[in-house]
A = this chain, B = another copy of it.
Amino acid sequence: MSTDLFIRNVRPLGIDLVDIHVSNGRIGDIGPGLKPPTLDAEKIDGSGRLVFPGLIDAHAHLDKSLLGLGWQRNEVGPALRDKIDNERRMRVERDIDFHQQTTRVARRYIEYGTTHIRSFVDIDTDIGLKAFEGLMRTRQDLRDQVTIQVVAFPQSGMLCRPGTVDLMEDALRNGAELVGGLDPSTIDRDPARHLDEVFRMAEHFDVDIDIHLHEPGDLGAFSVELIAERVRAVDWRGRVTISHAFCLGGIDEGYLQQLIELLLENDIAIMSHGPSGTGTIPPVERLYRAGVRMCTGNDGIRDAWGPLNMPDMLLRAFLLAYRNNFRRDEQIEMVLDIVTNGNARVMKLDKYGIAPGMPADLVIVDGETHVEAVIERPPRWLVIRNGNVVARDGTLVDQSDPQDPASGP
């Protein structure tokens, strides 16, 4: 149970100093110079610090993380297929404990102020549902601290590995909330059938879709068209995200404009995380200003694919700005809108934000402005989830490790 909180002197984005009253896990009054509540309430003086709504990662792979297993020297080859095959082999050889690994990385996410995560979970004919089951346990264990939305994801291919669809359906029957797809041409070698299968599962289980599309230029753009055709056919408007969508940065101006119209007509969201490298990336500002729903996330954290990502959505905001050369404050504020409201819309969080009646998910940090916090990325002074303080100064309040019964609060 949460106690009431009275948080004084904090600054939401675009608003002057306010006090926030939190009651029964929800935000009550907000405003300058509020009267302290008469009932017992924990008083917190924010001393002019910044407050963000709970940070959201709308594109994570919690099951992939190797955090805490000792430094993993990365020597994997450059091709996507090398990375996929290397990871699948390694997991079986090392007998990865997915409950342990997803817990480790999720706890670190919470320390960085994350209250909601959309996580893909790999399903293939080698590991079966082990990763899914581990993640589902973690989702349950940590439900008071972070909400995890689970996507059944065919990382190693779907049609090209018979049996994968059956496993995905098992996951969808047992709690997976979305169905994923992956590079319908370059991985499954049969774009129409791959997408038909994904949409068939989506209709059958009445779930949203998130398709990872790394395919470049005109090939990727063709996949966008095929996705849009299926969205229209079954009226899955507002229920599909295309992740990465590198192709949108690699086609000519006229075709890009056509695809933007397709995305808008079919209310398809685009996920971009400002990826590493020099390849083409979606034109984030253009898509956002055109009204395309945009979201972002960290992708894999310290996994077999590489070490570059961290479970910090302020770092992600910085990297999205860096890769897009967003230097103006209004551009970095747009990125913050994507990290918070954009991600909330994609995850269908009806109740989100710093406003009366919303769940009290708040992150308080030092800083002059919210944009400066993206640049300096200070430790999270306080992370509040449903009115409970879950982390202070970048460290979890509850240090008990569900992996280790000997630990405890």
Contacts and interface: CB of A to CB of B under 8 A. Distances in A.
**What is the count of identical protomers in the complex?**
2
A328 B277 contact: no
A74 B321 CA distance: 14
Interface stretch (A305-313, A351-359, A380-388): A305-313
A325 B277 contact: yes
A371 B71 contact: yes
A278 interface: yes
A324 interface: yes
A372 interface: yes
A71 B277 contact: no
Interface string A351-374: 000000000000000001101100
A125 to B, nearest CB: 27
Nearest to A327: B306
Contact of A372 (B76, B307, B325, B376): B307
A75 B249 CA distance: 25
A327 B71 contact: no
Given A71-B369, A276-B322, A278-B281, A375 B307 contact: yes
Nearest to A330: B75
B327 A74 contact: yes
A328 B78 CA distance: 9
Given A278-B324, A281-B278, A319-B322, A329 B73 contact: yes
A74 B278 contact: no
A192 to B, nearest CB: 31
24 contacts: A70-B368, A71-B372, A73-B329, A74-B328, A75-B329, A76-B328, A276-B321, A276-B322, A276-B323, A276-B326, A276-B327, A277-B324, A278-B323, A278-B324, A279-B325, A302-B375, A305-B327, A307-B329, A307-B371, A307-B372, A308-B327, A310-B375, A310-B376, A319-B322
